[in-house]
Amino acid sequence: MLSTAGALGVASLVFVLARWLLRRERGDRILLADAGPVAIPLSALWPPKGRLGDYWSHFIPFDRAGTTVVPCIFPLTAQRCIHVADAEAMKTILNDRHGFVKNTKEYELLGFFGANILCTEGDEWVRHRSIARKSFGEKNNALVWSETVRVLDEWFMPWDHAGSSTTTNITDDLRHITLFVIASAGFSLKLVRSKMARPSAGFRMPFGEALFTAVHTVFLRIATPRFLYSLPIPSLQRCDTAYTELERYIRQMIVEAREGETGVSDASEAADLFRRLVDANQAETGARLSDEELAANIYVYFVAGHETSSHTLTFALALLAIHPEVQEKLYDEVQRVWPDLNSEQWSSSTLNDSTKLEYALAVFRETLRLFPAAIRISRWATGDMTIPCQNRNAAGCWEPGRVAVRAGTSCILNLHSVHMSPLYWGDDAAAFRPERFLSEWPRDAWVPFTCGPHVCLGQRFATLESICVLARIVRKYRLAPTPEIAVLPREQQWARLTKWTVGITVTPGPVQLVLERRYK
C-alpha cells in the first residue's frame, strides 16, 4: 500500500517537474505564489514580504529585478504569467479588450446573485455594460452631492452635541455614511441613523447589517460547503441569513420599482442609479437583463458604491490627522468656499461647489494613489504579442524595451506598484503629498479606477461623494490621532492608522480619531 502511494507521489512529482520544465522559457522567474483568488486569504502569510506576489511589496520586486515587466512561472501548475508595473504596458493591455481579456474568476466573489458587469466578459459583458452605463449621468451627479450633504448634516448632530471634541471610530462612521449615500443617491432609500438597527417589516435583519455582513463574510461563504449551513454554527447562520435577506431586499426593490413606474421611458429623466438602471433595461430593444441579473448588478453597485468609498475616506481622514499641515491647507480652501456655517451657501451646497475644491480633489487622488481599492488585477493574453517595458542598464539608468507575451499568459497588473514607482512619482513616491496633483502629473501611472473599456463607471460618483465628505468634515472639525497615538513619531502613526488587509478591496482597520470642533 505504501509502495503504491509512494510510487504515485513520485509519479506526480515527476509530472509536475516535467510540465514545468517544458513550459518554462529562458528568463522566467519562479513565482512563489499563485495570483488567483486563493492568494487573498493567504496574503498575510505568503509569499515573503517584498517578493513578487506580496500585496505590500510596492515597487521593490521590480527594482530588484531591474525591469518593470517580470516574466514568471508558477511551478505547481506550470502557469506562465507576467507581473507588470509599467504604466505604458498597463495602458496597452487595458485598452485592448480583445487581445487581453478579463479573468472572470477574479470576480467570482461578487457573483453570488448571478451574472453581472464584473463577472462577465465578451458579448455578455457588452450587454451588461450597455445598460449599466445609462445609470450614470449629470442628474445623478447632482443628487450624489446633495444627498451627501444631507447625510453628513444628520451624522454631524451627535458629534456637535458631544462638546468641543469627541473621539469616534471613523472607520465605522464612514461605513454607514457611504451606505446612506449610495442607498439614497443610488436607490432612493432614505436610511435614518436612529432606525438603522431595525429590520424592515417581514425581514429578519436590517438592510445595512445584511449588506455589511455579506461583504465581510464573503470568503467564509465561498469556502464553506452548503450542507454545513444547516448546522447550529452561529457564524454560518449569520452569514447565511445575511445573504438570504440581502437578496430578498434587492428583489423587493426591483418589484417595487416596476410597480411604481411613472411611465418615464427615458432613463435620463430619473436621478437615482437604480431607477435609471430599471428604466434603461425596460427601454432596451435587445436582450434585457433578467431579474437575477438586475439583482446581481445592484449588489455590485452597493458594494462598489459603499465599500470602496468608505475605505478610501477612512485612509484619507487618517492621513489628514497624521499630516496636520496638509489638513490646514484643505481647511483654508474649504473655508473660502463656505466662509459661514450658518449661511444657505453651506446648508444648501450644490454640485457647483465641487469645482472650487481643487485641493480636496488632490487629497482624494493622493489617497487613492497610496491606497487603491485593488492592489492588482489580471488579464489573459489571447494571442502572441509584445508589450512595452523599462529595463535598467549597466549604468543604472532605465531605458525602454519590449517583452514578448505568449497566448495563454496571465498578465498580473500591479496597480499599487505603479502608484509607488519612483519612475513616475519621484523619490518621494511613498510620501503623502497631495500637491503633486496640482500641476502636471503622470496620468497613465494613476489607475485606481483602471482605464480603457473596463474603466469604472462609478468614478464620478465616488469622486464627488468623497471630496464632499472630506471638505465638509474638515470645514467643521480638526482631526487628530488619539493621545496615545499622537505621541508616537509620524512613521509609527502612519503604520498604526493606515494598516490594511486584503478583502474584496483594500480594507483598513478600525481607526479612532479625535474630532475637535472648529467653531464656537
> What does R_g of the chain's alpha carbons equal in angstroms?
24
Q: Which residue is listed with cell 481579456?
A: 101
Please check whether residue 65 lies inside any domain of the structure.
yes
Please check whether residue 79 lies inside any domain of the structure.
yes
Cβ-based neighbour number of residue 252 at 10 Å: 13
pLDDT at residue 264 in the model: 37
* Residue ranges of the chain whose pLDDT lies below 70: 1-2, 9-27, 32-44, 193-197, 260-271, 520
The type of residue at 185 is A
477-481 and 512-517 strand pairing? antiparallel
Q: Residues 280-315: pLDDT tens digits?
A: 888 777 778 888 898 888 888 887 778 899 999 999
Q: Residues 13-63: pLDDT tens digits?
A: 666 566 655 566 666 777 766 656 556 666 667 788 888 888 999 999 999
What 3-state class would DSSP assign to 298? helix
What are the distances in angstroms from CA 360 to CA 155, 310, 328, 454?
Answer: 20, 16, 11, 26
Please check whether residue 11 lies inside any domain of the structure.
yes
456 is in an annotated binding site: yes
Q: Where does 75-144 show beta strands of DSSP type E?
A: 79-84, 100-102
Backbone CA torsion sign across 271, 275, 277, 278: negative
Q: What is the CATH number of the domain that holds 79?
A: 3.30.43.20
pLDDT at residue 269 in the model: 42
Query: For residue 425, what are the contacts with CB-CB under 8 A and spacing of at least 6?
Result: 369, 419, 436, 442, 445
Please check whether residue 452 lies inside any domain of the structure.
no
Please check whether residue 116 lies inside any domain of the structure.
no
**Residue 371 class from Cβ within 10 Å (0-12 exposed, 13-18 middle, 19+ buried)?**
buried
Query: CA torsion 475→181→137→268, rounded to 10°?
Result: -130
Task: State the cell numbers at 386.
Answer: 509584445
Q: What is the domain count for the chain? A: 1
DSSP string, 383-435: S-EEEEEEEE-TTS-EEEEEEEE-TT-EEEEEHHHHHT-HHHH-TTTTS--GG
DSSP assigned state of 56 = T
Q: 39 is in which domain, residue-wise?
A: 4-105+374-445
CA–CA distance, 338 with 96 (Å, rounded to integer): 44
Please check whether residue 290 lies inside any domain of the structure.
no
CA–CA distance, 416 with 202 (Å, rounded to integer): 44
pLDDT at residue 267 in the model: 40
Please check whether residue 514 lies inside any domain of the structure.
no
Please check whether residue 333 lies inside any domain of the structure.
no
